[in-house]
Amino acid sequence: MDEQLSMLSDDELGVHEQQITDKLKVIEDKLARLKSQKAHLLELQEQIHNVRKQRKLIQKTGTDWDKENFAWSSKARELLSSIFSVKQFRPKQLETINALMTGNDVLFLAPTGSGKSLCFQLPALLSKGVTVVISPLISLMEDQVWSLERLKIKAKLLCSTTNKDAISQIHRELSDKKVPTLKLLYVTPERLSKSKRFMTALQKCYNNGYLDRFAIDEVHCCSQWGHDFRPDYKFLNVLKEMFPKAPLLGVTATATTKVISDVQTMLNIPDSLLFVASFNRPNLYYHVLAKPTGKQEQYDLITNLLLTRFRNQSGIIYTYSMKDAVDISTALISRGLKAGPYHANLDPADRTKIHRLWHSEELQVVVATVAFGMGINKGNVRFVIHHTLSKSMENFYQESGRAGRDGARAECILLYHFSDLFRISTMTFSEYTGLKNAYAMVEYCITTSECRRKIISQYFSEVWGEDNCSAMCDRCVNSDLVRPQKEIAPYVEQLSRIIEKCDLEQTNVTGLKLVDAWMHKGPMNLRLTDPAPLIDRTIAEQIVAYLIVKGYLKESFVYTPYATLSYIKRGTVRVTNDTLKFRCGKLFPLVPDAERTTTNGQTTPTASKGKKRVSSVVKTNGTSPMVGGSKGKRTRRRIDSDSDDHSSLESEKSDEEVIVAPNEVEVIELDGD
């Protein structure tokens, strides 16, 4: 072969080399496709394994737990009515309570607002000792303690906001040989893992026979596969070793089959019983709304919703950063609305104040990071607006589930813009399943034909469709407007050539700049000689987002001293048989108030006119306003949801400051002993 090559001219060698390069490219494409197919099949295989494991676990649980022939059944029914003012148990509540009272370790999976807390509060009243509730968020515990105090149930909270005298009193009561008057004690996992004094008091309580059980709220936080993994939850694996006779109840609204298996292993409860209630919330209306590019336009959009569609109604606005929480609430206050920010860096007393004002209807809306919300027991929340993508479908389902806990219609609106994809991915790519979770949320937003509920159900091993939705999502309401699938393989080739051109010129290209170049905008040297595609920019952004989510394009992350940047490269997945179809389509506007219907088909009345708002502004530490309803000069702007955004990702990142940690973590001093 060497002799044959040596006899060829330079031109012939060039032709020969090009043929080899072309063949290698074909082989590489085939290998990439096979690798992608293998990964997909392995993922499906694992899902099948996990579903079978969960079904086997449910079958082992049996069907006798729904009877009311236990020694405590009559008293449980009496307390349900007299204390909790509830006539009937919700799905799987009775089974969970009976299994727990019998001394079994139990895992209970149920949607937000399905009454998971009753499954440890009612047993606490049926027992003589103390039930210890471990919860990840102080706001959640405060909310439940307030509710229990109103019901004349003795409950205490032990966390960083508890004063020293109260802590000492709790320790004494736990250590006393007398029957404790305390029925429920709420603690953070950090308190268990870092306070030896508390663990000593708990050990004495157990030895005296008064530690009835542990209830672990948001139990998915134990697992690294969970979307809210908390390192201090790992300490809970000692509970079964230290308190073997105290049964464990783990409850959560979001856990995959893999997380369930992981939780059982970590908590050392392999024989725990599993009860799963349906995750469908038929009274919640899901809608993805186009998010304006400019901040003032975003504030105007939210203001308009709060003053008209949700006038005099209580709700939550979720956003991703602490800076956004402050900025949005400040903007709403200046527009005459009663709003307040809630995030992990607020002083604990200020967080509690905001929470109380909102709970008592003195605030219309709380603008919050994920530090606010898990298990918030406020039934009349009529709307939850996501200003930014949640970092996972589990987070989104849980946060949107704060709405409509009273069973009446409530709306869950997510504001989506293409640039948010990169804002979330740059914050989550280093997490265990961060990108996978973030891309699932993007796919939820850009999917233009599937029922929103059907997409959500895939994460909870349930099968929902349009029949389960009853036109309670924007896709089902607008099913007659769905566009046909569009052939986008030529677009993939064009985008790949732009990326190759950038690589040759040693230029990195962000997602926004890639769309700019494709649409013949931005720097001339990045554009192709091909004409720009005859599509709207929002459709172009949707196609690029789809290609990233599906692996035809991929993000490459680069750290800088000020931010993490995302640049777009060719992905490992290749177009098969030169054909790739995607159903494009713009996001639908909200249905006018007059056309909204409830789940039973009755028209929802337009929000009633309320009294004139009272001006008030409360400031903390002499800085930015926290809550208020002061009237300022209000401007009117036409909001164009299809406006173009030609800014680079770098400029998008420039106004980002501190990002809230995935969870609020309690900081306590280590004991001297």
Question: Which residues participate in catalysis according to the annotation?
Answer: 116
Q: CB 282: neighbour CB atoms within 10 A?
A: 17
Residue 446 contacts residue 428 (beta carbons within 8 Å): no
CA-based nearest residue to 105, from 276, 275, 272: 272
* 279 bridge partner residues: none
What are the angstrom distances between the C-alpha of 509 and each of 333, 496, 513, 559?
38, 12, 6, 15
SS3 219: helix
Token pair recorded at residue 99? 């299994």
What are the angstrom distances between the C-alpha of 221 and each of 235, 252, 370?
12, 9, 14
Token pair recorded at residue 38? 């293998």
CA-based nearest residue to 102, from 272, 278, 277, 264: 272
Q: Is 586 exposed, middle or buried (0-12, 13-18, 19+ CB in 10 A)?
A: middle
User: What is the rounded CA–CA span in Å between residue 333 and residue 626?
Assistant: 9
DSSP code, position 308: I
Residue 93 contacts residue 68 (beta carbons within 8 Å): no
Q: CB 339: neighbour CB atoms within 10 A?
A: 28
Residue 190 contacts residue 667 (beta carbons within 8 Å): yes
SS3 content of the chain, % helix, strand, coil (to 5): 45, 15, 40
CA-based nearest residue to 305, from 416, 406, 384, 405: 384
Residue 337 contacts residue 615 (beta carbons within 8 Å): no
Token pair recorded at residue 530? 């091909």
